[in-house]
């Protein structure tokens, strides 16, 4: 007998926080992210309006994955892909955290969350120019972000063993168009 297909919903956590069940146990394989969800820090950050948050929820509206993002500046000297006359600091959309509970991994939910981050970045870019999407990849994850999403590693190491990564907005737009074509 075939297992029933799981149903997931992508929601804007900033608008639907009161409708979402934040689990007491969340394990994505990264203790920092797990603690962020289970300690209430995710909920507090959303309530304080310090960031944008999207969530993937199951059919019971329980959070099984999340992505947080905001804006940041990156020194032009750190980036090899700038062209033309650019300011000393480049405006970027920054993905702060992204994680999917291990029991739901392998279903493309992390990709859905990253594409949602790309969509948010491009939406802002149409009004206020951004140069890229930026993230600090967790230890051991840089090759994944490079191969799957086209991020480039920046020269300097990030804090806590992370790898700073940069994906020019032109590549982000192309990735969204490619994702649309594959649907």
pLDDT tens for each residue of 23-77: 999 999 999 999 999 999 999 999 998 899 999 999 999 999 999 999 999 998 8
Report the 3 state secondary structure along the chain.
CCCCCCCCEEEEHHHHHHHCECCCCCCCCCHHHHHHHHCCHHHHHHHCCCCEEEEEECCCCEEEEEEEEEEEEEEHHHCCCCCCCCCCEEEEEEEEEEEECHHHCCCCHHHHHHHHHHHHHHHHHCCCCCCEEEEEECCCCHHHHHHHHCCEECCCCCHHHCEEEEEEHHHHHHHHHHHHHHC
Q: Give the model's pLDDT for residue 86.
A: 86
Residue 79 pLDDT exceeds 70 = yes
Tell me how far apart the alpha carbons of residues 91 and 133 are, in angstroms, rounded to a whole number.
9
Q: What is the mean pLDDT of residues 73-98?
A: 88
pTM: 0.92
* Residue 63: closest CA among 30, 95, 101: 101
Q: What is the mean pLDDT of residues 13-20?
A: 95
C-beta of residue 121 within 8 angstroms of C-beta of residue 151:
no
Q: What is the mean pLDDT of residues 88-114?
A: 96
Q: Give the model's pLDDT for residue 73.
A: 95
Q: What is the mean pLDDT of residues 16-27?
A: 95
Instruction: Express each pLDDT in 107-151 by its tens digit.
Output: 999 999 999 999 999 999 999 999 999 999 998 899 999 999 999
Q: Give the model's pLDDT for residue 3.
A: 58
């Amino acid at each position: 007998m075939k297992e029933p297909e799981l149903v997931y919903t992508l929601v804007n956590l900033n608008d639907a926080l009161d409708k979402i069940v934040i689990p007491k146990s969340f394990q994505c394989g990264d203790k920092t992210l797990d603690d962020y969800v289970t300690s209430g820090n995710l909920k507090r950050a959303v309530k304080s309006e310090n960031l944008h948050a999207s969530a993937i929820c199951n059919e019971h509206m329980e959070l099984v994955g999340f992505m947080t993002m905001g804006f940041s500046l990156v020194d032009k000297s750190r980036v090899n892909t700038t062209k033309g006359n650019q300011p000393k600091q480049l405006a970027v959309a920054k993905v702060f955290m992204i994680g999917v509970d291990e029991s739901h991994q392998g279903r493309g939910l992390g990709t859905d969350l990253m594409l949602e981050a790309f969509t948010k970045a491009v939406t802002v870019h149409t009004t206020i120019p951004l140069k890229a999407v930026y993230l600090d990849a967790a230890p051991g994850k840089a090759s994944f972000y490079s191969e799957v999403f086209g991020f480039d590693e920046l020269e300097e190491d990030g804090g806590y063993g992370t790898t700073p990564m940069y994906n020019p907005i032109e590549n982000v737009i192309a990735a969204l168009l490619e994702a649309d074509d594959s649907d």
